[in-house]
Structure 1
Amino acid sequence: MSGATLHVGTMPYETTQALLDGSVTFAGVPARVDTADLASDIFRRMVRDREFDVAELGLTVYLRTLGSDESPFVAIPAFPARIFRHSAIFVNTASGISRPEDLAGKTVGEFGMYGQDSGVWAKGMLSDDYGVTPDKCRWVIGGLDRPMPPFDFVPHPHPADVQVEQAPPGRSLGAMLDSGEIDALISSNAPQCVLDGSRHVARLFPDHEVVERDYYRRTGIFPIMHTVVLPRSPVAAHPGLARTVYEAYLAAKNAGMDRYRTGRKVYQVRTMLPWTNALFERNAELFPADWWPYGLDANRATIDTFLRYHFEQGLSARRLTCEELFTPELLGT
């Protein structure tokens, strides 16, 4: 730990708001909570610079650190970021792609690295449900709305039969998609050309909410993007530290959920989005009462699916198990 204070790096979600505003604490342990504009900045500061005592980390970034000799981090089963990723696949409207199977033979962009969290989930879903495996596409890695080299803080494995290259100097993936230099793009964020209403770009699944709801009904999977990690040495030196951090993240997430539950009484007046209550009630018909669970038991099938995708896509040397990811004291959660 950083002296007597926990230095925490996490993004500003509803799942973490209570940590950021101090309404949830780490069992009385003083904490300094930092955030960033991009999650990848938190990842870099933790993986390359070891800046934090506790940090949010992309699931695939964490898995790549497990492949290193020292395996510097251990995770707790807290998952502050999850999102369905059918909506994360964009296509150029002149590319001839009107259904998922049309991606075969096409050039697809991916932000930051081959196999970011959204990419692992999207590729896995495309393979399972539509037979489009990564080796059937060509992959270009770069920045989304500005030129950027691939992330320099993680290894970049990929199978020998999968063609992966960097975006040309001075070119961003969003601009390349808009111009037709690439046929499709998998991105955790919407490219600016989409936000600007470009006629040249559309989503692969225009009715993505319908498709994603069907996916959840069939699989029970609400895809996990990020977990929370601590350096191994402090966890070993301070018994109970990992559980303290887990319980704080859990309390913060539950506080966010409670805001929606109590907000039903006043028609979610604290939000600016019209019909939020109607969406909440529609979701309640599909999801369990705890629609954003933490702990291993409730998430085992989702994590195991991600681990299968990670192995099938050549990102890990063998198929890992859930027990290898999380600190032993929290395996019963």
Structure 2
Amino acid sequence: MSQTKPLTVLLGDYPHTRLLKDGTLSVEGVDCRFVDSSPLYPAFARMVRDLEFDVCELALATYLQAREAGVPITLLPVVLIGGTHHRSLTRLPDGPALAPGELAGRRIGVRSYSQTTGLWVRGILREEYGIEARDVTWVTTEEPHVRQYREPSYVTRSPAGRVADLLRDGDVEAAVLGPRAVAGQGEGLVPIVPDAEAAGRAWTERHGFVPANHVVVVRDDVLRAAPDAVRALYHALAEAIGATAEDRDGSPASRAVAAGWSEEFGACLDLASRYALEQELVRSPLDIDAIEKEAAFVR
């Protein structure tokens, strides 16, 4: 084991990470110092801007942008959370009826233009309803995680604190909310996509995978200095994901959780990177084959 110092690891609180964080499963030969962030997503900026953690959970869109920006991190082939996102595009229940195909020229609220849920929702709008990202004004409440990224001209910032407040205050006509926000600040809002659950299932059947939201990355200098320790952490996380598989409910969100490079994982990264390019989240194509080769060290 080549590790010479503890690994600082930031992972969200899920059944499959809890087994490691509470010591139920050990990371053989590695002193892991698990740290927390509540809420989780502000820590993503701290990772891609300041490399604050050795190993860190990271939003998929943030990873794609960080890679283009040259941030020295390597992707581990792990999906910690994911799911379908037809339900994430919402409106007020007592507002005027609004179909997805009618969103061109409208204002849509989203926490950040680079939020991964927004990436998938915009992909759905283009693919299924012919609405391009530039056809909409995207009203955001937060800046991107990656400092080097510059938003397109059709993105604007609001001083509002929460995306749902933009909708309730009449500043936007629709809002994109992540899964937890739908059940929190978005309580009472309704999906714009008809029969959103069925639409999500049809999407996964058509593409052959469930969209990933959060992955795991490691700092390049840590990987060079302690590859065995990083590999041991990866394998322990894969073991934890396997150990909790029977407890998951078979929903798209539960099926998204996985470890290991697979055809589905590669297809997910490929489509996400294409969506990102179409939406100007990145300005140049990303080499998925190179990402796969870099991740091969965990095998």
**TM-score, L = length of structure 2:** 0.88
1:123 match: 122
Is 1:177 paired with 2:178?
Answer: no
1:80 match: 80
**Structure 2: unaligned runs, 5 residues or longer:** none
Cα offsets for 1:228-286 (capped at 9, x unmatched)? 111101212223344222212211111211345xxxxxxxxxxxxxxxxxx64xx5xx9
**TM-score, L = length of structure 1:** 0.79
Q: Sequence identity, in percent? A: 26
Q: What RMSD over aligned residues (CA atoms) do the two structures have, in Å?
A: 2.7
- The 3 A distance-change label for structure 1 pair 192 and 300 is closer
TM-fit CA distance, 1:133: 0.9
- The 3 A distance-change label for structure 1 pair 27 and 83 is same
Query: Aligned with 2:211: secondary structure?
Result: coil
Is 1:213 paired with 2:204?
Answer: no
2:135 match: 136
TM-fit CA distance, 1:310: 0.8
TM-fit CA distance, 1:121: 0.7
Contact map agreement 1:9 1:52 (CA 8 A) in 2: yes
Separation in 1, partners of 2:104, 2:148: 26
Q: Which moved more, 1:290-299 or 1:232-241?
A: 290-299
TM-fit CA distance, 1:88: 0.9
2:150 match: 157
Cα offsets for 1:191-237 (capped at 9, x unmatched)? 75532x3xxx4211353221111211222120001111111012122
Separation in 2, partners of 1:135, 1:151: 18
Contact map agreement 1:87 1:205 (CA 8 A) in 2: yes
1:55 match: 56
Among residues 188, 191, 194, which one is paired with 2:186 in the alignment? 194
1:314 match: 280
Cα offsets for 1:299-328 (capped at 9, x unmatched)? 111111101101111111211122333562
1:304 match: 270
Query: Aligned with 1:79: secondary structure?
Result: strand
Separation in 2, partners of 1:314, 1:300: 21
Among residues 185, 204, 208, which one is paired with 2:192 in the alignment? 204
1:12 match: 13
- The 3 A distance-change label for structure 1 pair 254 and 60 is same
Separation in 2, partners of 1:94, 1:155: 40
Separation in 2, partners of 1:56, 1:21: 17
Matches within 5 A, 1:220-235: 220-235=208-223
1:269 match: none
Separation in 1, partners of 2:13, 2:185: 25
Matches within 5 A, 1:247-262: 247-260=235-248
Query: Aligned with 1:250: secondary structure?
Result: helix
